[in-house]
Structure 1
Amino acid sequence: MTQPSIAELDRELNDAILNGTALQAFETYYADDVVMQENDAEPTIGKDANRDREEAFFAAITDFRGGKVLATGVGDDTTFSHWHFDFTHREWGVRNYHQVAVRTWRDGKIVREIFYYG
């Protein structure tokens, strides 16, 4: 059986985010040693720590008005997704912005993800 390409895996993950199943998809698509980072902030290392961070983020969203993938790209072991999000967060207030997620893949799992936004 052939493993899906990273383009296919990235599309499946993006679809899960848009369908409200991001936390379930986290278990499927992220490696145990994943490193995730927001802009230039200190990275969060390991699946357990990142799961906690993701759960806290989604729990703090009080109103989700929409998300959309605007563009994607694929390179050697790397995918890019340009997003638009519109939501209200309990601590940050209204967030209506663009974000680029850069994902590095190894053996069908994300080992590094960096989110760039202003």
Structure 2
Amino acid sequence: MQKLVSEMDNMVLRGEIPQAVAKFFSNSAHTKDVDGSETATKEEAIQKLTGFVGAIAKVNEISLLNSSVGQDVSMSEFRFHFQMEDGSEINWHEVIRRKWKDGQVIDETYFQN
């Protein structure tokens, strides 16, 4: 599983976030964001993240600070800093917890500091 987590994290580092979801999520994957919003399918997650990425005007930073892999769970700690099209700025320190089954993400939850 370490190889899958590394590959997915590297796609995120390159800003290929919707593509990583398309490649690694199961069709019925669930996500939960910090604000409580949720998606119930891979397609919903792709649509949500495609909209988010499309609203980024400039990527100032995407850094992977740490990752950990357990039996069926991984944790990846990122720093994201974006300038958005609407003029706002996003500066997140985020931990992404992923639950895996049969080589696919079945649940992804985001935690921010």
TM-score normalized by the length of structure 2: 0.91
Distance 1:46 1:92, change over 3 A: farther
In structure 2, stretches of 5+ residues that fail to align are: none
The residue identity in structure 1 corresponding to 2:43 is D
- 1:14-62, Cα deviation, whole Å (9 max, x unpaired): 1111123222222210110010111250321111111110110100111
Superposed CA RMSD in Å reads: 1.5
What is the aligned partner in structure 1 of residue 82 from structure 2?
A: 87
The residue identity in structure 1 corresponding to 2:90 is R
Q: Tell whether 2:49 aligns with 1:51.
A: no
**Structure 1 runs of 4+ with >4 Å offset:** none
What is the aligned partner in structure 1 of residue 6 from structure 2?
A: 11
Q: How many residues align?
A: 113
Distance 1:16 1:49, change over 3 A: same
2:37 to 39, 42, 52: 42
Cα distance in 1, alignment partners of residues 60 and 66 from structure 2? 19
In structure 1, stretches of 5+ residues that fail to align are: 1-5
Cα distance in 2, alignment partners of residues 87 and 40 from structure 1? 18
